[in-house]
A = this chain, B = another copy of it.
């Protein structure tokens, strides 16, 4: 079992037969430091030495390799986060964007019902739960009671 489940982004890239170049390494490092998720533009901003095209390409590569997940904010803004194994979805903080996984996907129940009702074929689904994360919630409360401008 040499080339099984990659445990790091680097491994994933190399196992897929892609070169681990400097720009990629930089992006991977940055991404790994943001378990809460990130946007492509955030990466661009923090790595001015790396070209925008390369950032987008690398994110897409990670996406194709299943190493990161693509999420959609309330306004449709795309956001990415490190992927975990297995079927899962995310909660997304509407304020800071922090993402968290949740595995329990009882969507299957809904799909079963749908499958029985529709003559078409179900291919997949998307689900996102929008939250105010504990940290932002706390801030919100502090602000509203503290300094009522």
Contacts and interface: CB of A to CB of B under 8 A. Distances in A.
A127 B130 contact: no
A114 B93 contact: no
A87 interface: no
Contacts of A128: 125-127
Contacts of A109: 106, 109
Contact of A133 (B117, B120, B132): B120
Contact of A120 (B114, B121, B124, B134): B134
A35 interface: no
Contact of A125 (B121, B127, B132): B127
Q: How large is the interface on A (under 10, 10 to 19, 20 to 34, 35 or more residues)?
A: 35 or more
B127 A121 contact: no
A67 B51 CA distance: 43
A110 B117 CA distance: 22
Interface string A86-103: 000001011000001010
Interface string A63-104: 000000000101010100000000000010110000010101
